């Protein structure tokens, strides 16, 4: 007589959940860092440690150049990608977009507090005699600049979305650094020309950061204006029109700077300029390392091949990923520009940086160290074929002579 065995129950499939869900709130550290600095200065002065307390006005650079690289090294890569079956649900979860929205009120509050601190001549409530020293004011400007630089990344996240509110909030976030044209150039310029010699925001092999910075700043400005001029012409309107997204974004900056100056006086202007320049230079440092030396090949038709994971440098170090809303998963971002940060994946085929963006920013400032760390990685990515690399034109012959024999 035949015996029948009952089918074994399948092992339960573990439900996927975002382990970083509440860690994304750590993205609020940059816009609240100055508020934390105020509390720390007050506490240290209260303890009589007045010689140490001024260091906290430099909390922004300490975070970027010190704490984040150490934390990236300690915690290492993330290693978690969302599976296909949760992508839609994860994309539509509004909690994640609220994590970016809330950046803005803290950003504006910290900026106002900084303006007060730059101009106050009696800070006795902080346990100080008189106002801040010039060095402390400069440190505060750099800390506010860090907030603005990270804010550009927050604006980047919102500016890619189709929702009109998020696009407007993107411009508001960019107002602090007077970099509103980024909203146009990044979406309609950089994403079209990325990893080509025509893109001002794609760094070339052999190009130092200090050469790249003015080229990217000026090139992006010219490109954004040309893009909006073309759009206005198609609409049959003058370029000097409020619907020009470069002009209305700059107008937000003028209103912000004008209002702050009217309230706190012209004494804040040098510090507003300093924080803005430093803030957008942080963005440009990230631009420099995201596509350094990478080049899209041309097809038989003479057009560039479609952007692929191989055309962006990635890093999956979890700490900087949290602070920058997965910006380091840059290949997926270029493949899916409207995809929200929580659903971005670490992609196969993408070249990887040796550490997180926070660590690489510091290296970019020192060209000999940068080239020692990165140039061989570019060549390895192209299997030694120097002709496949996006080379700095002024150094092309020298670079070909140096690496050609090894190609």
pLDDT tens-digit map of 259-272: 999 999 999 999 99
For 285-335, the pLDDT digits (tens) are 999 999 999 999 999 888 999 998 999 999 999 999 999 999 999 988 998
Within-domain flag for 11: no
Does residue 238 fall inside a structural domain? yes
Q: Which residues contact 101 (CB under 8 A, 6 or more apart)?
A: 169
CA 241 to chain centre: 29
Domain-located, residue 163: yes
Domain count of the fold of the chain: 1
* Domain boundaries, position 254: 23-403
| pLDDT interval class at 14 (50, 70, 90) | low
pLDDT of residue 1: 44
Over residues 206-241, the pLDDT tens digits come to: 999 999 999 999 999 999 999 999 999 999 999 999
CA distance 54 to 332: 41
Q: Is residue 3 assigned to a domain? A: no
pLDDT at residue number 344 = 92
Under 8 Å CB-to-CB from 199, ≥6 apart: which residues? Answer: 189, 190, 193, 291
The answer to the question of residue 361 being in a domain is yes
Q: Does any domain span residue 32?
A: yes
User: Where residue 159 falls among pLDDT bands split at 50, 70, 90?
Assistant: confident
Task: Let me know if residue 14 belongs to a domain.
Answer: no
Task: Please say if the pLDDT value at position 350 is more than 90.
Answer: no
Using CB atoms within 10 Å of the CB of residue 73, give its burial: 0 to 12 exposed, 13 to 18 middle, 19+ buried.
middle
Q: What is the mean pLDDT of residues 333-341?
A: 89
Answer yes or no: is pLDDT of 13 > 60.
no
Per-chain mean pLDDT for the chain: 92
Whether residue 1 is contained in a domain is answered as no
């Amino acid at each position: 007589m035949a015996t029948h065995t009952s089918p074994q129950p399948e092992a339960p499939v573990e439900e996927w959940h975002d382990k970083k869900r509440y860690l994304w709130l750590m993205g609020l550290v940059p816009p609240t860092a100055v508020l934390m600095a105020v509390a720390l200065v007050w506490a240290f002065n209260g303890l009589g440690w007045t010689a140490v307390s001024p260091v906290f006005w430099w909390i922004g650079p300490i975070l970027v150049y010190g704490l984040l690289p150490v934390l990236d090294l300690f915690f290492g890569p993330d290693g978690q990608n969302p599976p296909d079956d949760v992508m839609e649900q994860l994309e539509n979860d509004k909690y994640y977009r609220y994590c970016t929205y809330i950046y803005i009120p803290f950003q504006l509050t910290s900026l106002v507090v900084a303006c007060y601190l730059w101009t106050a001549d009696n800070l006795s409530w902080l346990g100080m005699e008189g106002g801040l020293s010039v060095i402390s004011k400069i440190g505060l400007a750099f800390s506010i600049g860090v907030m603005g630089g990270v804010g550009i990344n927050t604006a980047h996240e919102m500016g890619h979305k189709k929702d009109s509110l998020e696009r407007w909030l993107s411009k508001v976030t960019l107002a602090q650094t007077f970099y509103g044209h980024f909203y146009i150039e990044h979406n309609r310029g950089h994403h079209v020309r990325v990893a080509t010699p025509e893109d001002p925001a794609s760094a070339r092999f052999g190009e130092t950061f200090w050469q790249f910075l003015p080229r990217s700043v000026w090139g992006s400005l010219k490109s954004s204006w040309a893009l909006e001029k073309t759009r206005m012409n198609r609409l049959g309107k003058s370029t000097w029109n409020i619907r020009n997204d470069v002009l209305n974004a700059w107008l937000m900056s003028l209103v912000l700077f004008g209002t702050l100056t009217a309230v706190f006086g012209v004494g804040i202007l040098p510090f507003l300029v300093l924080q803005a320049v430093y803030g957008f230079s942080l963005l440009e440092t990230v631009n420099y390392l995201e596509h350094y030396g990478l080049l899209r090949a041309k097809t038989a038709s003479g057009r560039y091949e479609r952007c692929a994971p191989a055309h962006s440098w990635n890093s999956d170090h979890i700490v900087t990923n949290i602070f920058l809303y997965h910006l380091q998963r840059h290949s997926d971002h270029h493949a899916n520009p409207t995809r929200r940060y929580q659903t971005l994946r670490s992609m196969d085929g993408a070249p990887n940086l040796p550490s997180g963006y926070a660590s690489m920013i510091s290296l970019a400032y020192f060209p000999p160290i940068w080239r020692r760390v990165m140039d061989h990685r570019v060549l390895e990515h192209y299997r030694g074929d120097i002709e496949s690399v996006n080379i700095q034109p002024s150094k092309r012959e020298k670079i070909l002579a140096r690496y050609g024999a090894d190609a």
